[in-house]
Amino acid sequence: MISLDFNFNVLTRDLSLYLENQVKVGLFGSGVLSLVLGFSAAYAYYYLISVAKKPQLISGGKKFYQFLRDQCPVVSETYYPTFWCWESRIQTVLRPFVTAKPGVSYRNELIRAEDGGQISLDWFDNDDSASHPNSATRPTVLLLPGLTGTSRESYILHMVQQSRDLGYRWVVLISTTPRTYCAANTEDLEAVIEHIQRTNEDAPLMAAGVSMGGMMLANYLGRKGRETCLKGVVVFSAGWDVFECTASLEKPLDRFLFNSYLTSCLQAGVDRHKSILEKSYDIDHVMKAKTLREFDERFTSIMFGYPTNDDYYHDASPIHRLKSVQVPMLCLNAADDVFSPSHAIPVEAVKQNPNLALLITCHGGHIGFLEGLWPRQSTYMDRVFKQFAKAVIEQGGDLNDLSS
């Protein structure tokens, strides 16, 4: 989808000639230093030409496109991935370890779901907000973490910090039961949004979803159309076609790095509720699953009443509902994300809906988007979130009737 404007043959030829010359010179004089400088120059050249690039911004309407260009300068800036870890898998694996975890004190709330279960919400009320001192009208941001994610994930804490700086209130929907493992099921999400609206009737509400959370948000918007109180939505690293996402994660290296680990996390969640679930499901069979596909075949698709796992995957894929989204939604994906392969990013579907915009970076991995020499405090994803959240809350009137 995104081509590299760099001639590898030229680089290889020139570098080979350089190294051959250095070998002839020998390592007795300045050869080692020259060799290091040569490699550094070649790497810097490659990085600047082929790695650091401006993202691709795609929208179905000129109005939304121009709004983003005017209010969110980050969409037009060159993204400089951390130069020593720009590769997709390295970004994905390192992000939880190298990014800081700001201290946040949450207020937990449990609400009753329609099926009798409980939904856990972690609130950050931001009562010290200088820009929005009135709690009744303080803007609220709802966040849905990724699969098995919590309010203590580094990417969550970073966005909470961004919201705190903006003076907004924040609430995180926490996964407490296996019901949240289904990207197609939005009942709990609907209940949470309705609860937040009743609790803060005069406060504008927007939402952000990461990975699986983004898929649920997109599916929710596709089902609700205009019947939602959300003013805007931003989605990060969502998987748009579950068939393609699953197939990508079944490649040998990605199965080893990610698939098996995520499967074990899901199994741990099932095991915590084993005493209840074993009455209806073959838990021993579920616990023997080696991949996400096997887990979904043995548990998720059955739990939610799908005839086959293929039926579940089709229903869970947000790409089929994008045409029905009626709320401004910005989606950030990296073209090298192995969880959401580039060929499955819904470019054409986004072009058909004026309420949608897609921001594609060449690099960034899955929820990575690391930038800077040592990416402790902020990522490219954080900057996209902060600018878009501020634009939606403070300039949201410009987003009315994007089809015009």
- Residue 32 included in any domain: no
Q: Quick count: other Cβ atoms within 10 Å of Cβ 143?
A: 26
pLDDT in tens, 11-33: 445 545 544 554 444 444 467 78
Query: Which of 76-80, 179-183, 339-343, 379-383 is predicted with the least confidence, judged by mean pLDDT?
Result: 179-183
Same domain as 237, residue 250: no
- Same domain, residue pair 234 and 277: no
- The rounded distance, in Å, linking the Cα atoms of 237 and 325 is 18
209 and 66, same domain (yes or no): yes
Instruction: Clarify whether residues 73 and 158 are in a common domain.
Output: yes
311 has pLDDT over 90: yes
Q: Would you list the DSSP string of 77-91?
A: SPB-B-TTS-SHHHH
Q: Is residue 312 part of a domain?
A: no
pLDDT band at 400, cuts 50/70/90?
Answer: confident
CATH of the domain at 110: 3.40.50.1820
Query: Residue 133: its pLDDT value, please?
Result: 96
- Least Cα distance to 191 among 212, 216, 163 occurs for 216
pLDDT at 377: 86
Residue 373: strand, helix, or coil? coil
* Same domain membership, residue 268 and residue 140: no
Average pLDDT over residues 310-317: 98
Same domain, yes or no: 236 and 252: no
Residues of the domain holding 332: 53-241+325-397
Place of tokens 């010290």: 128
Residue whose entry in the numeric block shows the structure tokens 């074990």:
264
Number of domains forming the structure of the chain: 2
Same domain, 211 and 62: yes
Q: How many CB atoms lie within 10 A of CB 301?
A: 22
Residues 227 and 362 in one domain: yes
* pLDDT for residue 317 is more than 50: yes
Residues 295 and 346 occupy one common structural domain: no
Answer yes or no: is 352 within a domain. yes
Contact 378, 348 (CB under 8 A): no
By annotation, the residues acting in catalysis are 211, 337, 366
- In-domain check, residue 45: no
Give the model's confidence band at 180: pLDDT under 50 very low, under 70 low, under 90 confident, else very high: low
Lowest mean pLDDT, pick from 39-43, 55-59, 207-211, 308-312: 39-43
Between CA 164 and CA 178 the distance in angstroms is 31
Q: Is 148 helix (H, G, I), strand (E, B) or coil?
A: coil
Q: Are residues 256 and 378 in the same domain?
A: no
Contact yes or no for 381/234 (Cβ under 8 A): no
112 confidence band (pLDDT: 50, 70, 90): confident
Statement to judge: residues 297 and 175 lie in one domain: no
pLDDT for residue 1 is more than 50: no
Mean pLDDT of the chain: 90
**One domain for residues 291 and 354:** no
Q: What is the CA radius of gyration of the chain?
A: 23
What single string gives the DSSP state of each residue in 174-228? EP-SGGGG-TT--HHHHHHHHHHHHHTTTS-EEEEEETHHHHHHHHHHHHHTT--
**Per-residue pLDDT tens for 220-279?**
999 999 999 999 999 999 999 999 999 999 999 999 999 999 999 999 989 998 998 999
pLDDT, greater one: 181 or 148: 148
Q: What angle do CA 180, 183, 186 make, to 5 degrees?
A: 70
